Amino acid sequence: MTGKLLFDGDVVVSGGGLAGLTLALALHRAGVKVAVIDALPLDTQADIAFDGRASALAYTSWRMLEQIGVAKHLKGQAQRIEDILVVDGRPLDGLKPGGPGVDNLHFDRREIHPREEGEPLGYMVENRHTRIAAAKCAHETGLPVFAPRRALSMQAHSGHGVLELDGGDTLQASLIVACDGKMSRLREGAGIRSLGRRYGQSAIVLTVEHELPHEGVAYEYFMPGGPFAILPLTGNRSSLVWTEKDAPARAIAALDPQGFQEALEARFGDFLGEVKPVSQVHVYPLGLMLAERFTAERLALAGDAARTIHPIAGQGFNLGIRDAAALCEVIVDALRAGLDPGSQAALTRYERWRKTDSAALALGTDAFNLLFSNDNTALRHARGLGLSLTNAIPVARRFFMRTAGGETGDLPRLLKGEALSL
Ligand SMILES: Cc1cc2nc3c(=O)[nH]c(=O)nc-3n(C[C@H](O)[C@H](O)[C@H](O)COP(=O)(O)OP(=O)(O)OC[C@H]3O[C@@H](n4cnc5c(N)ncnc54)[C@H](O)[C@@H]3O)c2cc1C
């Protein structure tokens, strides 16, 4: 081998996207010897041209970002979500929340967090701000970051794994974690198969400014082509996730500014006054992917490398944060007990902890999308009934809010807002 050994420690994280950086920061803060690598420089990923999305972060995810020092860099950039309004929309009806004949489901955070300044249902943050905040944290805490460096492959040896980079350099650790996204090279290299399919839908994503304040309300309208979400950002701005079948989505995104404005107004309606785009328009083709296993010898998958889901419930990154919280706890517990954090026992604990939740959400969002993304009359009646019934039953509303907030099952300590350290 001609390259240098750049790092020798407990954990190497391959992929410094949202999930990878969250995991690496959590491990580093806990005292674990960890390094992260990414194919792109971290500041490229903070550019709006790179990722125009904003993410709804569940309140348990936010607790973890507070614990690992990322949230403090997001002051003034995170918008509290106080209410979520789910509406079974109609094509060309315009959007009339709460209007006559429209089936609504209203989630109000005061039902689960009643204090005046209690936790919101979640926070909306533009991904680029989260990336900048995480990169600042990495810099100020001295987390070893190797970027831009591309991982080519990973070799498992007895007692450690070796990550090979382009140019021949290597990093080695007891455990390698693949956070290299849905096309994960390390997942494929380890022979882990995945199930999945394309939805034939794409999400048109942009930021809009509107005349009236959104009051922290997130709206999700179910339309035949797919959900149309208006998600509150700081100021009088919202992030739109406008899902359509692939061809119409591409055609809408390619409209000239005036044509796009007309299409936007027809879909958005005027309940927030005048609306106009204030960002580039991005198009994301949507698909489902679920890895058959989340681990292999000396390897764990986390974030989109483990599963990629429909954004209908805004849970993809939240699942990555839950992976990071659980894996961090497994690694810290193993090291505290003097055990090997990359052993089969540690990997089995991680896989058991994360796989069921992932499969449930991946398949749940899949079914939800199938049920709601159509204009079938019988299904529309059934959906309306479902929304009204859920809306009428407080215990059902609270269950959905807690589930979306990530407060289900065996909650890792970081998601409870507790610190982890060796
Ligand atoms: C339209 C849309 C809206 C969404 N909204 C929400 C939402 O509201 N809430 C939510 O929780 N989730 C949401 N998601 C999902 C969320 O965006 C993803 O789950 C999340 O970005 C995945 O992060 P990741 O770090 O796992 O993967 P990625 O962001 O794909 O990061 C992978 C990283 O690995 C690096 N990499 C890849 N290959 C290599 C290699 N060989 N060597 C080195 N580095 C490599 C890449 O450069 C990249 O930085 C949405 C998704 C879409 C499409």
Q: Summarize pLDDT for 226-239 with one digit per residue, the tens.
A: 899 999 999 999 99
* pLDDT higher than threshold 70 for residue 337: yes
Q: Is the pLDDT of residue 101 over 70?
A: no
Q: Are 242 and 228 in contact (CB under 8 A)?
A: yes
- The binding-site residues of ligand 1, defined as CB within 6 angstroms of any ligand atom, are 14-20, 37-40, 45, 53, 55-56, 150-151, 179-181, 185, 203, 205, 241, 284, 303-304, 311, 314-318, 320
> Which pLDDT score, from 0 to 100, does residue 254 have?
97
Largest CA distance in the chain: 71
User: Do 235 and 77 meet the contact criterion of CB atoms below 8 Å apart?
Assistant: no
What would the mean pLDDT of 56-70 be, rounded to a whole number?
Answer: 97
Q: Facing residues of 207 across strands?
A: 239
Whether omega for the bond prior to residue 224 falls within 30 degrees of 0, making it cis, is no
Pocket test for ligand 1, best of 6, 53, 241 (most atoms within 8 A of CB): 53
> Looking at residue 1, what is its pLDDT?
54
Atom of ligand 1 nearest to the CA of 58: 11
Best mutation site among 18, 153, 219 for ligand 1 pocket (most ligand atoms within 8 Å of CB)? 18
Contact status, residue 277 vs residue 208, Cβ threshold 8 Å:
yes
Question: 314: Cβ–Cβ under 8 A, 6 or more apart, which residues?
Answer: 55, 56, 122, 229, 231
Residue 287 near residue 202, CB atoms below 8 Å: no
Closest CA to 16 of 126, 144, 111: 144
With 80 as the cut, is the pLDDT of residue 386 above it?
no
CA of 304 to the centre of ligand 1 (A): 6
Of 189-193, 255-259, 402-406, give the lowest mean pLDDT range: 402-406
- Residue 81 and residue 233: Cα distance in Å, rounded? 9
Percent above pLDDT 90 for the chain: 72
What's the pLDDT score for residue 330? 98
User: Is there a contact between 42 and 325 (Cβ–Cβ < 8 Å)?
Assistant: no
Whether residue 83 has pLDDT greater than 60? yes
And the tokens for 276?
């106009």
Which residue's C-alpha comes closest to atom 37 of ligand 1? 180
How much is the pLDDT for 402?
A: 87
Average of per-residue pLDDT across 317-336: 98
Q: Which atom of ligand 1 is nearest to the CA of 286?
A: 53
Residues 319, 312: Cα–Cα separation, whole Å: 14
Distance CA(355)–CA(350), nearest Å, equals 8
Better pLDDT: 80 or 108:
80
- At residue 96, the pLDDT reads 59
Q: Please, are residues 127 and 55 in contact by the beta-carbon 8 Å criterion?
A: yes
Residue nearest to atom 20 of ligand 1 (CA): 317
Pair 20, 13: CB distance under 8 Å = yes
pLDDT at residue 41 tops 70: yes
3-state SS, residue 350: helix
User: How many CB atoms lie under 10 A from the CB of residue 54?
Assistant: 28
pLDDT at 389: 74
User: 292-309, pLDDT tens digit by residue?
Assistant: 999 999 999 999 999 999
Return the pLDDT at 393.
84
Share of the chain above pLDDT 70, in %: 96
pTM strictly above 0.85? yes
pLDDT value at position 414? 98
Task: Give the closest residue to 313 by CA, choosing from 361, 355, 267, 357.
Answer: 361
Mean pLDDT, rounded, for 97-107: 67
> How far apart are the C-alpha atoms of 229 and 238, rounded to whole Å?
9
Between residues 360 and 280, the one the model is more confident about: 280
pLDDT value of residue 360: 85
pLDDT recorded at residue 99: 58
**DSSP code string of 24-44:** HHHHHHHT--EEEE-SS-TTT
Q: Residue 92 pLDDT more than 60?
A: no
- 50-54, 66-70, 318-322 — which is least confidently predicted? 50-54
Helical H runs in 303-376? 316-336, 344-372
Q: What is the pLDDT of residue 401?
A: 86
| Secondary-structure percent of the chain, ordered helix, strand, coil, rounded to 5 | 35, 30, 35
The predicted-structure confidence for 197-220, as pLDDT tens digits, reads as follows: 999 999 999 999 999 999 999 999
Cα(127) to centroid(ligand 1), Å: 10
Pocket test for ligand 1, best of 6, 12, 36, 38 (most atoms within 8 A of CB): 38
Range 342-346 contact pairs with CB under 8 angstroms and sequence separation of 24 or more: 342/11, 342/160, 342/161, 342/173, 342/174, 342/175, 342/176, 342/298, 344/297, 346/175
Average pLDDT over residues 323-336: 98
Those residues whose C-beta lies under 8 Å from the C-beta of residue 266, and which sit 6 or more positions away, are 92, 94
Please report the pLDDT score of residue 303 as a whole number: 98
Q: Which atom of ligand 1 has the smallest separation from the CA of 318?
A: 11
What per-residue confidence (pLDDT) applies to 91? Answer: 54
Spatial neighbors of 189 by CB under 8 A, at least 6 apart, are 153, 154
Q: Which atom of ligand 1 is nearest to the CA of 205?
A: 1
Overall average pLDDT of the 264-284 stretch: 94
Span from the CA of 36 to the centroid of ligand 1 (angstroms): 15
Cα separation of 26 and 34, whole Å?
10
Number of Cβ atoms within 10 Å of the Cβ of 223: 23
Domains of the chain: 5-416 (3.50.50.60)
Tokens linked to 142:
């001295």
Rounded mean pLDDT of the chain?
A: 92
Over the stretch 17-33, which tens digit does the pLDDT of each residue have? 999 999 999 999 999 99
Residues in the chain: 422
The CA distance from 276 to 189, in Å, is 45
Residue predicted with more confidence, 369 or 146: 146
Residue carrying structure tokens 């689960």:
112
